[in-house]
Structure 1
Amino acid sequence: MGLTEFGKALRICRVNAQTTLAEMAEDLKVSPAFLSAVETGRKKVPAGMAQKAAHFFAQRGQDPTYDFEALADASNEQVNVAGLSLEQQMLVSSLARSNLDSNQIARLAHLLKKMGGHE
């Protein structure tokens, strides 16, 4: 099984931080086998792991190049809408069902960022 986008980002950042999967797993308090399974999509990215990964790399002087939360959502193939307003939930649903091309999605993402939304 291939790497998920979340897994690819973790591996690239680990190489840049000159750290191993075992060291990262120990810091995140998971087994190396579990972390590997998350990277390859055999296991879902658990809640909180994206934030812990960002913190792990920040402690090692790595710039937050990746949005680990967004990559985790994409790798898990779901987005948690709990706590969002009905309007936000409907927007997420509409976007998920849309047939926008990559250029249109990039423009929407840029607009959202300009409006103060999370990238």
Structure 2
Amino acid sequence: MITIFGKYLRDLRHMHTELLKDMADRLSVSAAFLSAVESGKKSIPPTWPSLLNIAYQLSAEMRRDLNQAFDQSQKTAVIDLNNQSGERRGVAVALARTFNDLTDEQLDLIKRTMFAVKKRGTES
């Protein structure tokens, strides 16, 4: 089944009248690997959003959509806790431990809070 990220890639290819092989060449991978990523059989390489942005000179709106598709298609998330304070490690582990018990409303609140903090950090 095609992932949200895979659909984004397909739409991007069609927009540029490219074949799967053309995009695979831009990403320096085989067409088979690209197809497996689109269908969710392989994980999305973390460098792809940046590579796609450069290769296709995406607009701000398209970059936002790409990043959202990337985030929504991930099967796992890794947080590197090396060199983090005990407080930060505790928060990350507590979130991971309780993640499946959170309601959609609670997750939305956490997400909005994170983006508000990030936005404030970029305005300084």
Same fold (TM over 0.5): yes
Deviations, residues 74-115 of structure 1 (Å, cap 9, x unaligned): 2xx222222562544443333333322222212211111111
Q: Provide structure 2 residue ranges, at least 5 long, that are not aligned to the other structure.
A: none
Deviations, residues 29-72 of structure 1 (Å, cap 9, x unaligned): 00111100111122222342232233333x25572123155245
Normalised to the residue count of structure 1, the TM-score between the two structures is: 0.71
Larger fraction in helix: 2
Alignment match, 1:70: 71
What percent identity do the matched residue pairs reach? 26
Change (3 A) 1:4 1:88: farther
1:112 aligned onto 2:110: no
Normalised to the residue count of structure 2, the TM-score between the two structures is: 0.69
Aligned pairs for 1:19-98 (under 5 A) are 19-57=18-56, 59=57, 61=59, 63-64=62-63, 65-67=65-67, 69-71=70-72, 74=74, 77-82=75-80, 85-86=84-85, 87-96=87-96, 97-98=98-99
Please give the root-mean-square deviation of Cα atoms over the aligned residues, in Å: 2.9
DSSP-derived class of the 1:41 partner = coil
- Rg comparison, structure with higher value: 2
Q: Provide structure 1 residue ranges, at least 5 long, that are not aligned to the other structure.
A: none
